[in-house]
Structure 1
C-alpha cells in the first residue's frame, strides 16, 4: 500500500513541478493585465445586461447546459507512463490504491470550473427566476455530486471498454446531468432525485464491470500522453518547449500567400519563412488564436479603452512570440548550407509579420465596426506591432 502511495506522490510532485515550470511563462505581466481588463470588462457587461434581461429568459436551461457539458468532460488524470505496462504488472492488485489517488486529484482539479460557471450564473438566476436561496445552494451541492460521479463513471467506462466509443458515454452523461440540474432549478426535485438514482445505478454497473478487468495500461498511457501534449502545445505559445515537435500541414489553400514572392536569390528566405509559417501548426495557430481572441473581445466588449488595451497587448504578444519563434536557430535548416546572407532571414520575418499583422488588423477592425471610435483599433494594432518589431531582438540576433 505504501509503495503505491509513494509512486503516486513522486509522480504528482514531478507533474506539479512540470506544470509550474511552464505556467510561469504563461501568466506574465502583459497577460495578467489583459486578463484583469477582460474579466473587469466582462463583469461590467454582464451586470449591465442583467439590468435589462427579460423575465422569460431561459436561465435554467442555459445554466444546466453549460454546467452539464463541463461535467461530462471528466477525463481522468492518471499520470500513467509507458514503462508501467511492464514494471507495474506485479503490483496490479494494488493499483486501485493508485487510481483512488488519481481520481481524487482529477475531481479536485476539475471541480473549480464547474463551480465557477455556476456561481457566475447565480446573479442571472436571481434576476430572472424566483428561486429561493436554499434551492440555489442545493443546485451547487448537486453539481459537486454530479462532478464526482462523472469522474468516477468516465474512469470506469474507460477502464472496462479501453476508451472505445467514449463519446457515447459522454453524451449520455451530459444529457442526464443537464436534466438533473434543470430539474433542481425548476423545483422538479422528485424528477431530479429519480434521474440521480438512474445515474448512480449506471455508476454501480460500471464498477462491477471493472472488477474483473485487467488494467488497460495502453489506453491510459495514450490518454496521458495526449493530455500532456496539449499542455505543452499551449505552453509553447508563450515559451519554447524543447521536447515538443509541432505538426506540419500542407494548407494548399494558402499557397497564394507566398506565390507572389519573386524567384530570386535575395528572396530565398522570404519564401522559406512564409512557407514555414503557413505550414507549421504551432506558428499558424498561434497567430490565428490570438487574432480570434482579439476579434471576439471587440465584438462583445464595447468599452473603447478596454478594447484598445486588449488588442494592443495581444498584438504585442503575437508579434513578439512569432518573431522569436521564426528567428530561432536552435535546429539545423537546409538554407544554412547555401550562401545566403544571414540577416536576410530577419528581413523576411519582419516582412511576414507586417503582412499578417495587417490581416489581423483588418479582421479585428471589421469585427469592431459597431464600436465607437473603432478606427483606432487598426492603428493601435499596427503601431504596437511595428514598435515590437523595432525594439526587440530576435533569437538569432542574440546568438551572434
Structure 2
C-alpha cells in the first residue's frame, strides 16, 4: 500500500467536502452579515484603541489566548472506521501518512495563530510603542515553532488511553505556553528559550514513555476524527442540510418540563411540541442560541457609541433568526413524521412561532441590558427597532424561505 497516495485521496476528499459546504454556508445574506461584522468590529476596535490606557494588560491577554490556542493541537489523520481493519497491517509504514497529517495540521492551526496575532498587533504596538513592528514577524516564527512542538507532544501522547495523563499533559503544556508567550511579548528571550526547552522536554517524555511503548489506538483515533468531522457538520447544518450529520440529543429534563407545561395537549400543538423540544434537546440550536446572545451582550458593552451598539444588536438579531430557519428540515429524513394526521401548514406555523419567540426573548433580554449599557431612552429605541425588525423578518423573510424549503 502506498500511504502517500492514500493521504492524497483522503485529503482530496476532505478539500472537496469543505469547499462544498463552505460555499453553501457563506452564500445568501450570511456572507454580507459577516463582512459587515468584520468591518464594524475593525472600526470600533480602532476607536477603542485611541482611549486604551498604557497599563492595559495586553501581555497577559495575549499570553492566555495564544497559549490556549497553542496548547489545543490535535493532529488530523482523516482515519475512517474501516481503517481499524485495513490499515492495521501497515501501521509500521504509516510514517509518511502521519507526517502529511502533521504538516496539514500545522498549516491550518498556524493560520489561526497568525490571525489572532494579527488581531492583537495594533493593541500590542499601542501599549509597547517602542517595539519595532518587525518583531511581530519574529513572534510569528516562534509561535509556529512552538505550535509544531505542541503537535508532536499531542501525537506522541495519542497512543495512550489514560485520560488523566492526557488532561495533565494539556494543563502542563498550557501553563508553559502561557508563560512562554508572556516572556516573548515582553522581549525576555532568555526565559523564552527556557520555556521552549521545557516544552520540548514534555514532548520528549511523551515520546519516550508512551509513543515508543504502545501501538496506535485505532478506535480512539477514529472516534476523535469523527468528532471533529461532526463538529464541522453541526456548524454547516446551521446554514444548510447536512445528510451525514449524526445528531445526539441532550436530555435537559428540567428545561423540557418547563417549556412543555405551557403547550396545550391537542392535535394542533403537535409540531409546536416537536420543534420546541427539538430546539431544547439538540446541542446545535440551543447552544448556538446562547452563544449568539453572549456575543451580542459582549458587543453592546464593548462598543462605545450607541448607534454602534444598535447596529450590532440588530445584526445579531438577524443572525439569530436566520440560523434557526434550518430547524424546519431537522426531521426531514424521518418518514414517520409524514404519518402525522396533522395539516402541513401547522408545521410551518410551528417553526414561525419558534423563531418569533426566540427573537422576541432576545429583544427583551437586550432591552434590559441596554438600560445598563446605554440608558432608558436607548433601550426604548432598541426595543422598538428590534420588535419591528422581528415582525418584518418573521412575516416576510422567514415565510419566503420556509416556502422554498417545503
Whether TM-score is above 0.5 comes out as yes
Write the deviation string for residues 236-284 of structure 1: whole angstroms up to 9, x where unpaired.
Answer: 1111111223222333333333322333444344333333333333333
Stretch moving more, 90-99 or 338-347: 338-347
8 Å contact from structure 1 (residues 72, 150) kept in 2: yes
User: What is residue 257 of structure 1 aligned with on the other side?
Assistant: 259
8 Å contact from structure 2 (residues 241, 326) kept in 1: no
The Cα of 1:399 is off from its aligned counterpart by 7.2
The match for 1:292 among 268, 291, 294 is: 294
SS across alignment from 2:187: coil
8 Å contact from structure 2 (residues 241, 329) kept in 1: no
Structure 1 residues 215-364: aligned runs within 5 Å = 215-254=216-255, 255-326=257-328, 330-332=332-334, 336-364=338-366
Structure 1 residues 128-139: aligned runs within 5 Å = 128-129=127-128, 131-133=130-132, 135-139=135-139
Give the TM-score normalised by structure 2: 0.87
The Cα of 1:131 is off from its aligned counterpart by 4.9
2:3 corresponds to 1:10:
no
SS across alignment from 1:375: helix
CA distance in 2, matches of 1:55, 1:399: 54
8 Å contact from structure 1 (residues 34, 310) kept in 2: no
2:390 corresponds to 1:385:
yes
SS across alignment from 1:159: coil
Stretch moving more, 316-325 or 225-234: 316-325
Structure 1 residues 67-78: aligned runs within 5 Å = 67-78=66-77
CA distance in 2, matches of 1:163, 1:256: 36
CA distance in 1, matches of 2:29, 2:308: 14
The Cα of 1:97 is off from its aligned counterpart by 1.1
The match for 1:375 among 346, 365, 380 is: 380
C-alpha change, 1:22 and 1:164, in structure 2 (3 Å) is farther
CA distance in 1, matches of 2:32, 2:304: 18
8 Å contact from structure 1 (residues 327, 345) kept in 2: no
C-alpha change, 1:150 and 1:345, in structure 2 (3 Å) is same
User: What is residue 111 of structure 1 aligned with on the other side?
Assistant: 110
User: What is residue 176 of structure 1 aligned with on the other side?
Assistant: 176
8 Å contact from structure 1 (residues 308, 377) kept in 2: yes
8 Å contact from structure 2 (residues 328, 402) kept in 1: no
CA distance in 2, matches of 1:335, 1:92: 46
Write the deviation string for residues 2-23 of structure 1: whole angstroms up to 9, x where unpaired.
Answer: 8111000000010111111111
8 Å contact from structure 2 (residues 236, 242) kept in 1: yes
Any unmatched runs of 5+ in structure 1?
Answer: none
Any unmatched runs of 5+ in structure 2?
Answer: none
Give the TM-score normalised by structure 1: 0.89
Stretch moving more, 17-26 or 371-380: 371-380
User: What is residue 99 of structure 2 aligned with on the other side?
Assistant: 100
